[in-house]
A and B are shown apart, each in its own frame.
Chain A
Amino acid sequence: MRHVGPLVLAAAVAIASIGCATEPRELPQIRDAYDRLAANAQVRQQAGVELHDAELAVDRAFEVWQKDGNYDESVHLAYLATRRIEIAQLATERRELEDEIEQMPRQRVAQLAQRDHLAASMRGGTRLELSAGDAPDLDEFFAKLEEEPDERGVVTLGDVLFGFDSDALKGDAEKSLGRLSTFLAANQGRSVLVEGHTDDTGILEYNFDLSRRRADHVRDELVKDGVDPERVLTVGYGPVYPVAPNTTATGRAQNRRVEIVVLGRGEALDPAAP
């Protein structure tokens, strides 16, 4: 018995140190929050990995309390678990938004027919890239469009044709737009969709605004040349539809552009469409 005494005492102390202290109040809170999160089918479907991370974090916080009786560490781990739960919620919302955005052009194809992001979705057709320095064959481009009245054509105005952070067009581009206006005057059945694009650097809202202003500026030029404004639709896509990776300076320059989609005959824009 003399030898058992200290052991019993030690055991009692060990039990007291774990059993008597109250559980951190954060623990039931994180369990509740996690259970609510895990009950959400959207979360399970969209953010399975993040949900699992949150579960592990919750379990850790409990384990450290229940096995080691480490109160402070358990409270700390409960904080991490709370944040992991937030991350899983945000990740769910992010993936839903990503899906929604990806569906948008397709929905719009269905709803608005030619109001899609046409330049990107276009297969085939005639393309013309305009950037500073080169003398592209405008004659050949418009001749081909004349030959194929039902085909679409895309004229890409490169970034260098606009001033830095500006919607103003440089001289060469205005000349090319003059040619387009002449073509549109001679081909009354065709309308154009002007899409502005930017790279993904800088402020998102600003990029949307800049892409819209550039597209609007192109429309204004065409209208100045006598094109009926009803035949020109503009849209600013900001950085959403890149044509090159935004990881290199060259790629970013390619992404900063305006694409003018010359619609096929009979694809006239219908401003009354929903």
Chain B
Amino acid sequence: MEGGAQVSRFGPILGLAIACALASACAGTSPQPSLEAAEGAVQAAENAQARRYASSDLSRALDNLSAARTEAADKANWIEARRHAEKAEVDAEVAIEKSRVQQLRITATELQRGASEGAR
């Protein structure tokens, strides 16, 4: 059986291919934890009023999160799903930090204004 010989000859290669696929699948195991972390971070950004004080970073986070969800729905794109989720998480962290800074800038300005009004 020629066909059988073919299979056995390519057996190791096939095995290697499967191993590679498994390895890459392992590298991109379920993006679920990354997705959950991203969702939590985006929620925290919303709570920090990022919509008002860091809208561009929040939009980036939301775009990356929705890309991650889309790719997670198609399991062939688990790696991309995880990457987008990780991007969304760090974008949300930037948005949180930026919101805090913006609000502190306003507070500093207001307090200075209070002081100068007091001096009037």
**Residues of A participating in the B interface, judged by any CB pair closer than 8 Å:** 73, 76, 79-80, 83-84, 86-87, 90-91, 93-94, 97-98, 100-101, 104, 108, 112, 115, 203-205, 208, 233-238, 240, 271, 273-274
Whether A237 and B111, one on each chain, are in contact in the complex, defined by CB atoms closer than 8 angstroms, is yes
22 A-B Cβ contacts within 8 A?
A: A73-B27, A76-B87, A79-B87, A83-B87, A87-B90, A90-B94, A90-B98, A93-B101, A97-B105, A97-B108, A98-B104, A100-B108, A101-B111, A104-B111, A108-B118, A112-B115, A115-B115, A235-B114, A235-B118, A236-B110, A271-B119, A271-B120
Whether B87 and A80, one on each chain, are in contact in the complex, defined by CB atoms closer than 8 angstroms, is yes
Whether A97 and B104, one on each chain, are in contact in the complex, defined by CB atoms closer than 8 angstroms, is yes
Q: Which of A233, A238, A274 contacts B110 (CB 8 A)?
A: A238
Q: Which of B90, B106, B120 contacts A84 (CB 8 A)?
A: B90
Known A-B contacts A86-B94, A101-B104; A236 and B114 likewise in contact (beta carbons under 8 Å): yes
Scoring B86, B114, B120 by chain A CB atoms within 10 A of each residue's CB, the highest score goes to B114
* A108 to B114 Cα, complex, angstroms: 11
Rounded to whole Å, the gap between the CB of A109 and the closest CB of chain B is 11
Whether B118 and A112, one on each chain, are in contact in the complex, defined by CB atoms closer than 8 angstroms, is yes
Residues of B within 8 A of A112 (CB): 115, 118-119
Interface size class of B (residues with CB under 8 A): 20 to 34
* A98 to B87 Cα, complex, angstroms: 28
Whether A235 and B90, one on each chain, are in contact in the complex, defined by CB atoms closer than 8 angstroms, is no
Whether A90 and B97, one on each chain, are in contact in the complex, defined by CB atoms closer than 8 angstroms, is yes
Q: Determine whether B107 belongs to the interface, using a CB cutoff of 8 Å to chain A.
A: yes
Known A-B contacts A83-B90, A204-B107; A94 and B114 likewise in contact (beta carbons under 8 Å): no
* A266 to B29 Cα, complex, angstroms: 73
* A204 to B101 Cα, complex, angstroms: 12
Residues of A within 8 A of B117 (CB): 234-235
Rounded to whole Å, the gap between the CB of A180 and the closest CB of chain B is 20
* A236 to B116 Cα, complex, angstroms: 12
Residues of A within 8 A of B90 (CB): 79-80, 83-84, 87
* A238 to B107 Cα, complex, angstroms: 8
Rounded to whole Å, the gap between the CB of B36 and the closest CB of chain A is 17
Rounded to whole Å, the gap between the CB of B30 and the closest CB of chain A is 17
Residues of A within 8 A of B101 (CB): 90, 93-94, 97
Rounded to whole Å, the gap between the CB of A151 and the closest CB of chain B is 22
Whether B119 and A80, one on each chain, are in contact in the complex, defined by CB atoms closer than 8 angstroms, is no
